[in-house]
Amino acid sequence: MLVVAGTLTVIGWLMQHLADQGLIANGAYGIATLVAGLPIIFKAISALRARVMSIELLVSIAVVGAVAILEFEEAAMVTFLFAFGNFLEQRTLQKTHQAIQNLMEMQPTTATMVVDGQYQEVEIDEVDEGAVLVVRVGDQVPVDGEIISGSAEVDEALITGESKLVDKTTGDQAYMGSIVENGQILVQAQKVGEDTTFGKIIELVEEAQDNQAPMSKFIDRFAKYYTPFVLVVAILILLFTKNLRLAITILVLACPGALVIGAPVSNVAGIGRGAKAEILIKGGDVIDQLAQVDTILFDKTGTVTEGRPTVKSIKEYQEDHWLALAADLEKQTNHPLARSIVEYYEKRGQKTTADFNLPITTIKGIGIQSEYQGQTIWIGSRRVLTENQIELTTQQARDLQVIESDGQSVVLMTVDQKLVLMMGLVDQVRKGVKETFEKLKQSGIDKQWMLTGDNSFIAEKIAKTIGINQVKAQMLPEEKALFLEQLQNDGRHVLFVGDGINDSPSIAKANVGIAMGNGTDVAIETSDVVLIDSDFSNIQNARRVAKATMRNTMQNVGIAIGTVALLLIGVAYGWVNMASGMLFHEISILVVIFNAMRLLRMKF
């Protein structure tokens, strides 16, 4: 339709100005006006039914008026250029949505299911939880699940951002979208479709397109009142000057098309640039808030550290099977330290954990509690001692001091108020953390706090390593959230970074919550920003995107308002007519769109 309208408009102009065929020219202009103008009029009518006076209403009235005064050329030019502006806007939005389109294309569409010992190829939608699938060399893993047989080298770059191959074997997790480069595995489906890690990535990118920033909402409200204001001004001009052409010209040129699309196109471009860097920003509201943050709070384990600690020290104070019991209880939790203890036990004993079939109770910020043969078992942090009023022997106190002085995280196991097991675990600080905090400080985030449930000695040692001097240790999840709220009450705009279920209250309460991509589902779902590749430096990059997007939006607003003002001045002095004014108007829309597209090329 746009091509037809444009072609007819060109034909009309040629017939009128070069061939002196006014009748043919007006016919071409009239058909072009109908082709390009009817969709605009229908949009205006739909808006009126919703009791909204839209920009399309201004254009529709202007076009009808131009036809009424037999200015067919102006009517055709107005409708074509307005339609062309909408087309360019949609093309830009489509380009910024390329990240999600690419993700959708990367999804596996089929899977090879094992049924009664036979391989059966099925559509991905037919795979349910519990199904067993074979994944061979070159195949994509079609689900999130556990490898129950075989081993392989797997490329997980799509999920983790890491380009190196990962060795996978029985008991390891496999993720949808990863590719088997060497070997063959059987995977039992645990999550399928939208519930997979890859599915959630796509869902988050989709959600990121929906929310409007405060600037967008302001512009929507502006347009709502601006349209009737312009209509009133045009009517007054008509009443006082009796010049219908001037009134219609005012209606057309006052349409702030560039203003209406300025904020949305900047936001979508900013979100698209973030997605390309594995940063998922959930909407325009987040961009606005992220640009304003001046305080950062962050968890330690799994956030500034890798979250893959290993057992370095172990002290057993009773000759018994307590380590086996500890491993069995810890395998029921998803805490990084718990997984490390299970792995240590299995490697040391070269056997899997025993199955004691004991239920556990998770105590936030402390650990787990269970009952075994009439005895009360606690496994957790130093708080286990104070919670149960346990006094350490001289040797135990010395062991604890040595382990903690080495910067190890301590896990204690008590049985009926007696310490039976002490383990020290070490975790590596993520690459680039110190540099990121320095850059954040330089960019205006001058308050930086580490909040952790670990003991103060270990927390201080990690803080010193990453260049942070404000630490709060041995904090429960609710204490973290309360501290965050106190900072907000003091007027601070707080960014919280975490990865675990215990971080989710603070992630949700913060002005902006950031979750590491390898964190828990709860943390990811409650966050505003997800770092898919868990690259800590992307915190700074996310803020750069937000600030650049806000600057870009303000530039677009300035371009739009300035264009309208100049055109109206031009009309007042007779320098601009309807057709030339509409051309400049659409040029301003082009400028706004191209300005927003610069965000897609932003370098880190």
* Cβ 111 vs Cβ 172: under 8 Å: no
Burial class (CB in 10 A: 0-12, 13-18, 19+), 373: exposed
* Cβ 148 vs Cβ 188: under 8 Å: yes
3-state secondary structure of 25: helix
Paired strand residues for 411: 423
- With a CB cutoff of 8 Å and minimum separation 6, the contacts of 287 are 213, 267, 270, 271, 281, 545, 546, 549, 550
Cα(469)–Cα(38) distance, rounded to whole angstroms?
A: 64
205, 390, 516, 517 from 278: Cα distances, Å: 10, 47, 11, 9
Token pair recorded at residue 394: 């001289």
Residues counted in the chain: 604
Cα dihedral 344, 347, 353, 359 in deg (nearest 10): 10
Question: What is the distance, to the nearest Å, from the Cα of residue 575 to the centroid of all Cα atoms in its chain?
Answer: 47
Token pair recorded at residue 508: 């949700």
Please measure the distance between the N-terminal and C-terminal CA atoms of the chain and give it in whole angstroms: 41
* Cβ 500 vs Cβ 520: under 8 Å: yes
Choosing from 139, 285, 288, 299, the catalytic residue is 299
- Give the position of tokens 């009808």: 64
Cα(176)–Cα(156) distance, rounded to whole angstroms?
A: 9
Give yes or no: 299 in active site: yes
Query: How many angstroms separate the most distant Cα atoms in the chain?
Result: 108
Token pair recorded at residue 281: 């920003």
* Cβ 382 vs Cβ 474: under 8 Å: yes
Cα(40)–Cα(587) distance, rounded to whole angstroms?
A: 19
Catalytic residues: 299
